[in-house]
Amino acid sequence: MSEKLFPIINVQHLNTYIPWCIGHEDKFYKDSKIIQLSKEIAEAFIEWGFIYLINHTIKQEVISNGFDLSRQFFKLNTTQKEAVLRPNTGENWGYVPFKFETFEKSRPFDLKECFNFFPITEKLETINKILPAFMPVEVNLFNQCKQLSELLLQLINMQLPVSDRNFLNDQHKGLGSLDENPTITRLLYYPPIKSEESLLENQLRCGEHSDYGTITLLFQDEVGGLQVVNPSGEYVNATPIPGSIVVNCGDMLELWSAGKFKSTRHRVLMPNDYDKARQSIAFFCHPDNNITVSCLDGSDKFKPQNPYEYLMQKFADTYG
């Protein structure tokens, strides 16, 4: 199996545009370093669908705090975690128990538990009683991911066949608004495995899938296990790089680009050391609920999709 890493892109120059403000557009689109970054990301999404970002805009302290509170949550007892259980409705906020999800129907259930997080919740009082520090820390991480995603959408927009400089960001206007956009932070915990004998045949920590939205930002710990399909169609390890963020193209961006950008399939394998738990945090950046996503080159390579309906069908497949 090839171990070649997908592209590593230094985006330190993006810090020049933090915080984003009205009037940045002209300077941003004429900036030679920004133009180069845009091309590098596009080339990587065309070939791989995955990149590593280094020297990005999110401080390590914010990420570390997010991991720490995530770890504290998953160490709670079952009764406490189930007090903020994700409901079996379209509301995608709350705890998803161990062995509850199946991403790949040809395999047994995934060996993970999750917390789907959004800054606004009716369960605020409950989570504050259980873990008072949780909301401020995870809201901060969510907002930092939102800010970085909006900059990345600007970079990607430069490589799409559209004249509107703000096209992609306008398709994500509701990002951060519960009623308009389903973007979430997902906290993931993969518990230690007792023994190889406890595993079912062909079982994975997370089955093969592509992501459903526009882009995903992934923070992973040092344990590893994430694999992605390389340009030759083989799985390769997404080896953790300290301080980096893994960013990948989702199904909606593949559709907008008429297949130019790859929404690459990926999975999480069992570790060589079964005693090691794994943590990761994913920020799934989705388009707004009320739009239609179609090929921007005018082709009919993909059928137009309402991203919210598409997401709900994927949830039905996963939780059904």
39-77: pLDDT as tens digits: 999 999 999 999 999 999 999 999 999 999 999 999 999
Strand ranges in the chain using DSSP code E only, listed in sequence order: 8-10, 50-54, 94-96, 113-117, 184-190, 206-209, 215-220, 226-229, 235-237, 245-249, 266-268, 278-285
Provide the 10 A C-beta neighbour count for residue 212.
20
Cα separation of 139 and 127, whole Å?
13
DSSP 3-state assignment of 84?
A: coil
Residue 5: Cβ within 10 Å count: 16
Closest by CA to 5, choosing from 220, 238, 240, is: 238
Superfamily of domain 8-86+93-319: B-lactam Antibiotic, Isopenicillin N Synthase; Chain (2.60.120.330)
Give me the pLDDT at residue 1, please.
42
Model confidence at 180: pLDDT above 50: yes
Residue 85 is classified by DSSP as B
Q: Is the pLDDT of residue 83 over 90?
A: yes
Q: Work out the number of other CB atoms within 10 angstroms of the CB of residue 200.
A: 9
Q: Is 138:185 a contact under the CB 8 Å cutoff?
A: yes
Percent of the chain with pLDDT over 70: 96
What are the pLDDT digits (tens) for 237-257?
999 999 999 999 999 999 999
* Crossing angle of the two packed helices 60-74 and 134-157, in degrees rounded to 10: 130
Residue 142 to residue 185: CA distance in whole angstroms: 6
pLDDT score of 19: 85
Dump pLDDT digits (tens) for 100-125: 776 777 787 778 999 999 998 889 99
